Amino acid sequence: MALRVHRDGSVEVRAPRFVKQSQVRRFVAKRADWILERQRYFQELLRKHPGKELKNGETFPLLGRNFRLRLERRPGLETPYCLAASRRLKVFVDGQVGAALRTAAWGAIRNLYSDLTERKARAVIRKHSKALAVTPGKLKISDQAKRWASCSKSGDIRCNWRLSMMPISVLEYVVVHELCHLKTHDHSPQFWRILKSVLPDYEKRREWLRKEGPALAFGGGIALRMIV
């Protein structure tokens, strides 16, 4: 059986069909303290990192720096888009209001993050593939619920579009981490030696991800109120 506490505090239990309800209840009861601990953890994250509001001046992280949101209406604009320049995140939309505005603006912001993540990840792959003597497959940008990135058996690398929220050095660590998995699929001492040969300061980058990553995954432009 498997147990998971979601960000909203709900609890998910997965069990084979043959497992009795009484067994499931006992399984959950034995882990009550852990469940409460995880629920408190997510409550604290939400308190510290509430979602972003769709308003001028709201800050959004981009490559480790905060950019201030600026909404600009362009009546007749067919496709909303977002540009980042001079520490501003400019979102151009039609004359939408309410839910339509939120959908259009958030779509434009997410597209900006996705495109930037893809460009930066490709640059990292080009930079380090030869030194590691690996040939990655396709690069895919997606909305991964549990991972910053992953590597398939066929060599495809999948990156979370949120990677471009973090400093480029940390994004580089995440992508190189997956490149190293093309040489060894586990996290054995050999894996970490390979990673350190490419990024001698990987521990510092990993520590940043451990400390700051939850804020990006929880409130850094993702769990949005009134929202984008």
Judgement on whether residues 39 and 149 belong to the same structural domain of the protein: no
> Average pLDDT for residues 117-141, to the nearest whole number?
96
**Residue 148 and residue 161: Cα distance in Å, rounded?**
8
pLDDT of residue 222: 42
Q: Is residue 109 part of a domain?
A: yes
Judgement on whether residues 139 and 211 belong to the same structural domain of the protein: yes
Judgement on whether residues 123 and 153 belong to the same structural domain of the protein: yes
pLDDT of residue 118: 98
Judgement on whether residues 194 and 105 belong to the same structural domain of the protein: yes
Distance of CA 56 to the CA centre of its chain: 24
Q: Taking a C-beta distance cutoff of 8 angstroms, is the pair 228, 109 a contact? A: yes
Q: Is residue 227 part of a domain?
A: no
Judgement on whether residues 73 and 138 belong to the same structural domain of the protein: yes
Judgement on whether residues 24 and 93 belong to the same structural domain of the protein: no
**Residue 160 and residue 121: Cα distance in Å, rounded?**
10
Count each helix (H run) and each strand (E run) in the chain, helices first. Answer: 6, 9
Number of domains within the chain: 2
> Average pLDDT for residues 42-56, to the nearest whole number?
78
Judgement on whether residues 126 and 160 belong to the same structural domain of the protein: yes
How do residues 75-114 score in pLDDT, each as one tens digit? 888 899 999 999 999 999 887 767 888 888 889 999 999 9
Beta bridge partners of 225: 53
Judgement on whether residues 86 and 168 belong to the same structural domain of the protein: yes
* Ramachandran assignment for 71, one of left (phi > 0), alpha (psi -120 to 50 degrees), beta (any other): beta
Judgement on whether residues 75 and 107 belong to the same structural domain of the protein: yes
Beta strands per DSSP E along 77-207: 81-85, 88-93, 139-142, 149-151, 157-160
Judgement on whether residues 20 and 97 belong to the same structural domain of the protein: no
Judgement on whether residues 142 and 182 belong to the same structural domain of the protein: yes
Note down the domain range covering 11: 2-48
Kindly report the pTM of this predicted structure: 0.79
Q: Taking a C-beta distance cutoff of 8 angstroms, is the pair 228, 221 a contact? A: yes
Q: Is residue 105 part of a domain?
A: yes
**Residue 49 and residue 118: Cα distance in Å, rounded?**
26
